[in-house]
């Protein structure tokens, strides 16, 4: 106690110095923490504009460049004839599979199973009887034209058949399938019984 009384003045001076030091450290921090934020001192933001509508972008459809989807019509001796959506690299054998396969009386020897398909292609699978008719004992069948597979040029060589009727025959085959009898030929627009009788010795049906 004696020492404290003798050094009272020094102790008071030290206390004041300590208070002053704390004031210097704490008071500015207190006021700065409660000051409103000056928007002008904020870090400037950067406005990013949306990409221009003229930017060269490629949509999924554009990136492919081409549309590989094709439509093929298959007729004749298959389980489910009709129009099928196929791929660019498909073959005739693939389309036959899509159509449920060949029927028992189909003659696959007369079609090219490995042929690549193309858009709007028509595949006609013939009946096996057509092949049997080619092996005729009459000795005359080798000069005849198969009505179900003949080209337009071959059809135009027949008596009474010009370009228009040849095209009508091909169109009928594509829409209705192979001819099964001579009577079926009369269903073709522009061809009557008289024309069919003229064709009888020049064509093979079916």
Range in 63-67, 91-95, 187-191 the model is least confident about: 63-67
Q: What's the pLDDT at 154?
A: 87
Q: What's the pLDDT at 58?
A: 38
For the chain, the domains span 66-125, 128-206
> What's the CA gap between 53 and 112, in Å, rounded?
51
Q: Tell me the two tokens of residue 6.
A: 């003798």
Label residue 59 left, alpha or beta by phi (over 0 means left) and psi (-120 to 50 means alpha): beta
Range in 1-5, 10-14, 169-173 the model is least confident about: 1-5
CA dihedral 85, 90, 93, 95 (to 10 degrees): 0
Instruction: With a cut of 80, say whether residue 26 has pLDDT above it.
Output: no
pTM: 0.36
> What's the CA gap between 204 and 136, in Å, rounded?
11
8 A C-beta contact, residue 110 and residue 134: no
- Average pLDDT along the chain: 75
Closest CA to 184 of 127, 111, 109: 127
Q: Which CATH architecture has domain 128-206?
A: Orthogonal Bundle (1.10)
Range in 7-16, 59-68, 78-87, 98-107 the model is least confident about: 59-68
Label residue 76 left, alpha or beta by phi (over 0 means left) and psi (-120 to 50 means alpha): left
Which residues lie closer than 8 Å to 98 by C-beta, 6 or more apart? 74, 84, 86
Q: Tell me the two tokens of residue 121.
A: 């292609």
8 A C-beta contact, residue 131 and residue 110: yes
Band (pLDDT 50/70/90 cuts) for residue 32 is low
């Amino acid at each position: 106690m004696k020492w404290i009384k003798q050094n009272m003045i020094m102790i008071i001076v030290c206390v004041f110095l300590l208070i002053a030091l704390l004031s210097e450290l704490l008071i500015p921090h207190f006021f700065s923490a409660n000051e409103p934020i000056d928007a002008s001192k904020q870090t400037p933001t950067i406005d990013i504009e949306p990409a221009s509508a003229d930017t060269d972008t490629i949509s999924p459809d554009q990136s492919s460049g081409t549309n590989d989807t094709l439509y093929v019509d298959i007729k004749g001796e298959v389980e489910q004839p009709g129009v099928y959506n196929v791929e660019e690299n498909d073959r005739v054998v693939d389309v036959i599979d899509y159509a449920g396969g060949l029927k028992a009386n189909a003659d696959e020897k007369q079609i090219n199973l490995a042929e690549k398909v193309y858009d709007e292609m028509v595949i006609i699978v013939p009946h096996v009887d057509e092949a049997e008719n080619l092996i005729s004992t009459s000795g005359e069948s080798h000069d005849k034209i198969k009505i179900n597979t003949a080209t337009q040029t071959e059809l135009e060589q027949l008596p009474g058949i010009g370009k228009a009727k040849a095209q009508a025959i091909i169109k009928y085959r594509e829409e209705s399938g192979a001819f099964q009898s001579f009577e079926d030929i009369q269903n073709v627009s522009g061809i009557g019984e008289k024309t069919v009788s003229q064709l009888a010795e020049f064509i093979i049906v079916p």
